[in-house]
């Protein structure tokens, strides 16, 4: 049976349809029309469902490429199928249909457990998971942030080769400090199927540019845990501005000022995308995070992660950084889909794309009760 959503303001990812309809069948979008009414044709119209969105806005559901847990289950401390499921339930409430569960710097044994948990979740038909984002363990200790020093490792070719083999089909994304690598280890990673991002790095501008020239084409949470832009040494931030790789940013006004977000958008354009960087409270294990009103901190009070949902990030981007709504929505859906290599099936409302939606009103309030996935 097909479902047609009518009388909607549609943010397709390419353009804005002020009043239109979307037809979905078998979980895929088959038609989008500039019309308030359902399509007049259809021999099997009696077998179709029509939903009137009453002028609400509809946009592609979001894709969160960096989230560490949800609903009291922090994946760092509990690398389990249950933690992934709890995270899925959490990100869905914030408008995301897909996510990468993220593992912070951990012992190798924990990394293998996390990979196995993702493989089991996917094998059992678990929803939403695009794969595992390994944030570390190959970081610069000087830019470790809330990551325990004892879990940061120096890469070597043998270990990197083992990691790549174990990661197959599960790990799609990895954040590393490029200046910590020997050429052989970095080349192994860059020749693998894993998408590599620079982060938790104290690289000089020259070192960062060299990493980009070798093939690193992503940057993790701009400004945070990285060498800053300075007049005499532009650092990793300056290298990102210059070379314009895909670059994620946390739009909570805490991890970076909203003016920094605005300036970065002007410089990076469609290469800047939103992540939540969200954690959840967990007072056990190596990562003991507590909620501190509008953020999460570790036992020393160091900023450990955000309390954002992707919808919060979109609203903040519009309200405080002055970025147009249609572009903010692309930063949460269309661009992350491209970053992860899923731009042909996710992140847009167009024929041939999967039907994953968010619905919201003129006050930027998500409308609960609408199915996120049509069809």
| Residues involved in catalysis | 277
d(CA 141, CA 122): 33
**Are the CB atoms for 62 and 16 separated by under 8 Å?**
no
Query: Which residue's structure tokens are 């859906």?
Result: 333
Calpha distance 25→354 (Å, rounded): 10
- ∠ CA 134-92-196, rounded to 5°: 20
Residues near 283 by beta carbon (within 8 Å), at least 6 away in sequence: 289, 290
Interior/surface letters 56-66, b for 16+ CB within 10 angstroms, e for the rest: bbbbbbbbbbb
Run of H or E including 31: strand 28-33
- Of the candidates 90, 49, 54, the one whose C-alpha atom is nearest the C-alpha of residue 69 is 90
| Dihedral angle sign, alpha carbons of residues 89, 338, 364, 261 | positive
Q: Which residue has the tokens 């869905």?
A: 92
Residue 201: count of CB within 10 angstroms of its CB: 29
Residue 60, helix vs strand vs coil: strand
Tokens of 116: 């196995």
Chain-centre distance of CA 196, in angstroms? 14
Angstrom distances, CA of residue 331 to CA of 57, 274, 324: 17, 6, 11
């Amino acid at each position: 049976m097909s479902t047609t959503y009518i009388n909607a303001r549609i943010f397709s990812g390419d353009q804005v349809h002020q009043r239109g309809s979307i037809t979905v069948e078998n979980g895929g979008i088959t038609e989008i029309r500039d019309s308030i009414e359902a399509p007049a044709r259809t021999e099997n119209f009696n077998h179709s469902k029509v939903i009137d969105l009453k002028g609400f806005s509809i946009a592609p559901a979001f894709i969160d490429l960096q989230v560490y847990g949800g609903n009291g289950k922090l994946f760092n401390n509990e690398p389990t199928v249950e933690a992934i499921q709890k995270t899925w339930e959490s990100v869905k409430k914030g408008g995301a249909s897909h996510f990468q569960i993220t593992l912070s710097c951990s012992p190798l044994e924990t990394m293998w457990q996390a990979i196995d948990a993702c493989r089991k979740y996917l094998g059992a038909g678990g929803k939403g998971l695009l794969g595992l984002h390994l944030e570390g363990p190959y970081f610069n200790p000087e830019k470790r942030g809330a990551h325990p020093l004892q879990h940061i490792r120096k890469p070597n070719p043998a270990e990197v080769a083992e990691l790549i083999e174990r990661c197959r089909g599960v790990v799609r994304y990895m954040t590393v400090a490029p200046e910590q690598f020997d050429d052989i280890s970095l080349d192994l990673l860059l020749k693998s199927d894993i998408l590599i991002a620079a982060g938790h790095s104290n690289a000089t501008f020259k070192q960062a540019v060299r990493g980009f020239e070798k093939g690193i084409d992503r940057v993790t949470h701009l400004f945070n845990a990285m060498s800053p832009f300075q007049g005499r040494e532009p650092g990793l931030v300056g290298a990102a501005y210059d070379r314009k790789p895909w670059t994620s940013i946390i739009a909570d006004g805490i991890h970076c000022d909203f003016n920094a977000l605005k300036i970065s958008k002007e410089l990076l354009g469609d290469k800047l995308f939103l992540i939540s960087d969200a954690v959840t409270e967990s007072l056990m294990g190596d990562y003991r995070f507590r909620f501190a009103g509008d953020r999460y901190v570790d036992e020393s009070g160091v900023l450990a992660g955000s309390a954002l949902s992707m919808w919060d990030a979109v609203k903040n981007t519009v309200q405080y950084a002055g970025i147009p709504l249609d572009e903010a929505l692309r930063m949460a859906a269309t661009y992350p889909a491209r970053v992860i290599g899923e731009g042909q099936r996710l992140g847009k409302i167009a024929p041939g794309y999967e039907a994953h939606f968010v619905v919201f009103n003129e006050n930027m309030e998500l409308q609960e009760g609408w199915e996120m996935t049509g069809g």
